[in-house]
Amino acid sequence: LPSARHRGSPGEPRPLFALLSARGPPPAPCWPIECEVIKETIEHIGEGPRQPSPLRPCTGPPPCPQCPSPTGHEWPPATLGEEQGTVVYHLNPAPQGSCFTRARVGGAPGPLSSPAAPLEGPQDTTLLFESRFESGNLQKAVKVGPYEYVLTLRPDLYTAKHTQWFYFRVQNTRRDPLYRFTIANLAKPKSLYGEGMRPLLYSQRDAQSRGVGWRRVGADVRYYRGSEEEPATFCLSWTVRFPHDGDTCFFAHSYPYTYSDLQRYLQALAGDPVCSQYCAVRALCRSLAGNTIYLLTITSPASTAAKRAVVLSARAHPGESGGSWAMRGFLDFLLSAHPDARLLRRLFVFKVVPMLNPDGVVVGNSRCSLAGRDPNRAYGTALRGSFPGVWHLRAMVERVLAEQEVVLYCDFHGHSRKNNIFMYGCDGSRAGTVPRLRQRIFPLMLSKNAPDKFSFPSCKFKVQKSKAGTGRVVMWHMGVSNSYTMEVAFGGSTLGGRSSHFTVEDLKSLGYHLCDTLLDFCDPHPAKFQQCLSEVDVLLRQRLGREPGFSWSDVSPSELES
């Protein structure tokens, strides 16, 4: 790995470029110069229904999600094609092959264009679409029936691919009609929408009058192959009735968590005289667009010399917003007055990067930064100028490792094809028995602490060539033995008698369970560790059909993975 030790100290937390004051709004995000941005501030109340919404597979004609075909392609609904409709919303995308040049607060200068078709009068029932706000993504809407629309998502900026995240506004709603929406250019051949996941809806009127936030909606939800041409595209289709006439509503793939949401949260921390005693908010670096990438250092004020470190990060992939809610829950607990939180702060130094790719989050990308590439494949060869967040995070970890042990590295992500929460770790096939199995103990403990959310059987530990540039693999090679990617399903849980979507509270509770598991894992009394080590040993020997006494170093990662 390229060394960062002799290039000054880029991993050292730097003073904030724009100090987060408790007074006034946080700094506005910077956008690429090509992006138009509406002036309205979009904010949502965070809480939805307390009761999780059930996962409901479609019951349409076969093949359907309850009995999926081997290809995972479902029966398409009877809907008209885009060419037979009227374009009612269209944003001009960034030219293909272009690259990021510069950014400014508020995006493109000058007056805004009018991508939405104007209404012809009060009797016109056409929906008014909008996505030119923070984290928004919708490129085109075509009306193909009185209450039916075919939608196209914008690929990640400066790429021609990665269409998954959507988040857009609709106005001029009618309460009684049944609407159908079909997103026609999704990239992945398999999705949790085929296993009962449903889109999210937010009604502004319900939020204001009843305090109801995001909720799962949609009937006749289908996920199927759209075009036979290559590269293949896939469609998500659902029907819905809006709760009110004349409402302002939003649809989203997952609970949005924007860069401004993070800044408001950090601003509250900066203004809290208690939290500020053990939580330092600094700027790790600036992104390509000039947005601050924040680094939180959390520990008790006592000397840090003998403390071990824990490093956490989230939102390398901007469309995986569940990772931010899990991170929010982690910070809420760690910064609380709970006795376990105090103990954690006394035992460890926490280095937390809550949003590694703010530019991608701001513009509504699914996977990439403004470099047009996946930052979670760039840790091994990261260029400081192209991936500043990744470069500075790795340099910071390198500095910490030179002074103290990093007991845990965990990068929070989202998963679109498997339900539940699980981890990817790193199997050290050259190590002895205990080190070889040790990577499995933290996930096993977490599954015991969150049995209705976390699936140990879904965890994987093989280091594949295609993952060599990920954060967990590079940190592992740098010397962090317990290095993980935490995968949080976009859908929900099928464990512990559940078959329901994750709520915001579910996602935030993961942060608490991570703290609880860290205390179990590092308990000076070895009983819990030894019990889990024995369980892993017995479990793997049973699955492999091996007798006691053989050497784990003779077993390949592929055998263990199978």
Cα–Cα distance for residue pair 354/281, rounded to 1 Å: 11
Min mean pLDDT across 49-58, 260-269, 358-367, 484-493 is at: 49-58
Name 64's Cβ contacts closer than 8 Å, sequence gap at least 6: 57, 58, 74, 75, 222
Alpha helices in 225-384 (DSSP H): 259-270, 322-334, 339-347, 358-363
Mean pLDDT of 141-157: 96
Q: Is the CB of residue 344 less than 8 Å from the CB of residue 520? A: no
Mean pLDDT of 222-229: 87
Mean pLDDT of 443-463: 95
Dump pLDDT digits (tens) for 465-477.
888 889 999 999 9
Main-chain dihedrals φ then ψ at residue 256, nearest 5 degrees: -65, 145
Q: Is the CB of residue 48 less than 8 Å from the CB of residue 504? A: yes
Q: Is 297 helix (H, G, I), strand (E, B) or coil?
A: strand
**pLDDT, position 544:** 81
What's the pTM value of the predicted model, to 2 decimals? 0.91
Name 524's Cβ contacts closer than 8 Å, sequence gap at least 6: none
Query: Token pair of 152, please?
Result: 């196209």
**pLDDT, position 170:** 98
Alpha helices in 348-440 (DSSP H): 358-363, 388-401, 433-438
Name 349's Cβ contacts closer than 8 Å, sequence gap at least 6: 297, 298, 299, 304, 307, 308, 309, 310, 400, 404
**pLDDT, position 68:** 35
Name 241's Cβ contacts closer than 8 Å, sequence gap at least 6: 175, 176, 177, 178, 179
Beta strands 483-489; 406-415: pairing state:
parallel
Q: Is 442 helix (H, G, I), strand (E, B) or coil?
A: helix
Dump pLDDT digits (tens) for 539-550.
888 888 777 666
Question: Domain 83-95+114-253, CATH 2.60.40.3120 — does that match?
Answer: yes
Mean pLDDT over each residue of the chain, to the nearest integer: 88
Query: Which one of 3.40.630.10, 3.40.640.10, 3.40.50.1110, 3.40.190.10 gives the CATH number of domain 259-538?
Result: 3.40.630.10
Q: Given 40, 130, 487, 535, which residue is catalytic? A: 487
Name 97's Cβ contacts closer than 8 Å, sequence gap at least 6: none
| CA proximity to 490, closest of 410, 423, 418 | 418
Cis peptide before 354 (omega within 30 of 0): no
Mean pLDDT of 301-312: 86
Q: Where are the domains of the chain?
A: 83-95+114-253, 259-538
**pLDDT, position 175:** 96
The three-state DSSP-derived secondary structure of 261-296 is HHHHHHHHHHCCCCHHHCEEEEEEEECCCCCEEEEE
| CA proximity to 332, closest of 379, 268, 386, 400 | 268
Query: 60 or 545: whose pLDDT is higher?
Result: 545
Same fold, 83-95+114-253 and 259-538: no
487 is catalytic: yes
Q: Is the CB of residue 422 less than 8 Å from the CB of residue 455? A: yes
Dump pLDDT digits (tens) for 339-356.
999 999 999 999 999 999
Q: Is the CB of residue 308 less than 8 Å from the CB of residue 404? A: yes
Mean pLDDT of 267-284: 93
- Amino acid at residue number 372: G
Cα–Cα distance for residue pair 421/443, rounded to 1 Å: 10
Dump pLDDT digits (tens) for 486-523.
999 999 999 998 999 999 999 999 999 999 999 999 99
